[in-house]
């Protein structure tokens, strides 16, 4: 059918998200439903610089520890949002999560994500949400009781023009023109049937990215990541710490330099750069750099650490406890002493084993005592042992034995 006989279809239809729980990277169908359950969704609030790191695809290691469920991509066309879902951890994508995500997205589509114009207006009215180093990209977070949704909204993805034999025209007008020439009602109709412009087939032009997480796992991982990534020297002594997502520079023996972005995995592992084999153990990395004669320098500094929360130590006669306030409530957690990483002291040619003191709170987070608190804990144990020894000595009877009494008589 020619373009002259087939007019544009400019109808606007309100559509609701419905997630399919089938294959990885399945297209999410949009169907009219009258029984959609709405939930009271908190307002979008701008993400912090630390949260911005989790509004992008994650590696398998970080996916596992942060509770990353999957990502939803969406692109506006003719006021319709075409979406694509990608699984990250399928075992976390429960029916409860699917139902809640439907409600969250449907609530946001009523105004903020109704169309591209509304999304642009909302983003530009919240300039504090603009991501650092990301042009025209804004980060927002929505929290519910069990899940966290990190949105990355791209405002300038479609703000460009195309040069044609008719002159320079906006990309959206060019799409409609091409769709009409190929016999489609509109570019949205062309997209529904699986066609795209040749120049856009391998280009990601999504307007909306929604990265979904288990809230408790994400918050726990981010609290641990605040400690930063430890870089050691050849004697396994800490040289510096790098913030999660920070950059470090490696200067090789031939004076070549290479910069890497590093991500926190846990206290003893980090990822550098991109690729399938980027996870490093801090000890092995220190050994490799020393063997190759490489110099490692930080390009980003750790943020100023908040004053560490004062931990009160106590003892019930046998066990030792750390008393700390968690979510407004005092908790009494047993302190564990673990033989940590074995280190080979090259200077003294002997193997040393670091002792690590830690405790686990009710939210499942393992807290490792800082060097300052470790010294305080050792002093407390020493004083407690001395006090118990003095008390036992004082409790001992000083009455002479019967044998001594007999000799005295």
186 DSSP 8-state letter: -
Residue 40 has pLDDT above 50, yes or no: no
Split at pLDDT 50, 70, 90, the class of 160 is low
Lowest mean pLDDT among 75-84, 126-135, 219-228: 75-84
The total of other beta-carbon atoms located within 10 Å of residue 83's CB is 20
Are 325 and 336 in contact by the 8 Å Cβ rule? The answer is: no
Lowest mean pLDDT among 23-32, 222-231, 247-256, 371-380: 23-32
Q: What tokens does 76 get?
A: 């506006």
Q: What tokens does 114 get?
A: 């109704």
Tens digits of residue pLDDT in 1-28: 443 443 433 333 333 233 333 332 333 3
Q: What tokens does 31 get?
A: 């169907």
Beta partners for residue 75, in sequence order: 82
d(CA 262, CA 284): 16
d(CA 10, CA 379): 76
Cα three-residue angle 291-274-138, rounded to 5 degrees:
135
Q: HSE of 55 in the Cβ direction (CA atoms, 13 Å)?
A: 27
Cα 5 to chain centroid, rounded: 52
d(CA 106, CA 112): 10
Residue 68 has pLDDT above 70, yes or no: yes
Q: What tokens does 123 get?
A: 């983003």
Give the long-range contacts of residues 280-283, CB within 8 A, separation 24 or more.
Answer: 282/229, 282/230, 282/231, 282/232, 283/232, 283/236, 283/341, 283/343
Beta partners for residue 148, in sequence order: 143, 213
Split at pLDDT 50, 70, 90, the class of 399 is low
Q: What is the structure's pLDDT at 28?
A: 32
Question: Reduced to 3 states, what is the DSSP secondary structure of residue 380?
Answer: helix
Of the candidates 351, 325, 317, 353, the one whose C-alpha atom is nearest the C-alpha of residue 338 is: 353
- How do the domains of the chain map onto residue ranges? 16-220, 226-298, 312-395
Lowest mean pLDDT among 23-37, 307-321, 370-384: 23-37
Q: Report the percent of the chain where pLDDT is more than 90.
A: 22
Q: What is the structure's pLDDT at 370?
A: 75
398 DSSP 8-state letter: -
Tens digits of residue pLDDT in 97-120: 999 988 888 888 888 888 888 888
Q: What tokens does 79 get?
A: 């006021």
Are 25 and 86 in contact by the 8 Å Cβ rule? The answer is: yes
List Cβ neighbours of 89 (8 Å cut-off, separation of 6 or more): 63, 64, 67, 68, 69, 70
Lowest mean pLDDT among 161-165, 235-239, 307-311: 307-311
Q: What is the structure's pLDDT at 201?
A: 47
What element of type H or E holds 273? none
């Amino acid at each position: 059918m020619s373009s002259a006989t087939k007019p544009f279809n400019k109808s606007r239809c309100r559509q609701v998200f419905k997630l399919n729980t089938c294959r990885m990277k399945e297209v999410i169908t949009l169907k009219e439903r009258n029984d959609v359950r709405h939930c009271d969704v908190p307002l979008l609030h701008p993400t912090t610089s630390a949260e911005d790191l989790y509004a992008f695809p994650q590696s398998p290691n970080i996916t596992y520890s942060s509770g990353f469920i999957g990502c939803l991509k969406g692109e506006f066309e003719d006021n319709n949002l075409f979406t694509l879902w990608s699984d990250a951890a399928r075992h976390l994508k429960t029916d409860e999560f699917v139902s809640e995500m439907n409600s969250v997205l449907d609530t946001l589509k009523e105004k903020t994500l109704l169309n591209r114009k509304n999304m642009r207006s909302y983003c530009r009215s919240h300039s504090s949400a603009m991501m650092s180093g990301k042009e025209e990209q804004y980060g927002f977070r929505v929290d519910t009781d069990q899940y966290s949704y990190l949105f990355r909204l791209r405002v300038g993805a479609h703000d460009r023009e195309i040069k044609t034999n008719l002159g320079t025209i906006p990309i959206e007008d060019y799409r409609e023109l091409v769709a009409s020439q190929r016999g489609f009602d509109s570019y949205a109709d062309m997209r529904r049937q699986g066609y795209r412009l040749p120049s856009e087939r391998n280009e990601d032009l999504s307007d909306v990215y929604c990265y979904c997480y288990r809230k408790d796992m994400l918050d726990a991982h981010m609290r641990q990541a605040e400690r930063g990534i430890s870089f050691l020297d050849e004697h396994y002594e800490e040289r510096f710490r790098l913030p999660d997502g920070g950059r470090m520079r490696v200067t090789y023996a031939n004076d070549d330099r290479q910069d890497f972005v590093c991500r926190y995995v846990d206290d003893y592992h980090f990822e550098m750069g991109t690729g399938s084999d980027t996870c490093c153990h801090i000890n092995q990395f220190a050994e490799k750099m020393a063997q190759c004669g490489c110099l490692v320098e930080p390009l980003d500094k750790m943020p100023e650490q908040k004053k560490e929360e004062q931990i009160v130590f106590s003892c019930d006669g046998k066990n030792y406890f750390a008393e700390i306030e968690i979510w407004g409530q005092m908790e009494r957690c047993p302190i564990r002493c673990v033989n940590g990483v074995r280190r080979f002291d090259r200077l003294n040619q002997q193997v040393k084993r670091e002792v690590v003191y830690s405790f686990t709170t009710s939210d499942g987070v393992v807290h490792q005592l800082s060097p300052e608190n470790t010294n305080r804990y050792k002093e407390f144990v020493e004083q407690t042992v001395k006090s118990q020894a003095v008390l036992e000595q004082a409790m001992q009877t000083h009455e002479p034995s019967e044998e001594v009494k007999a000799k005295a008589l």
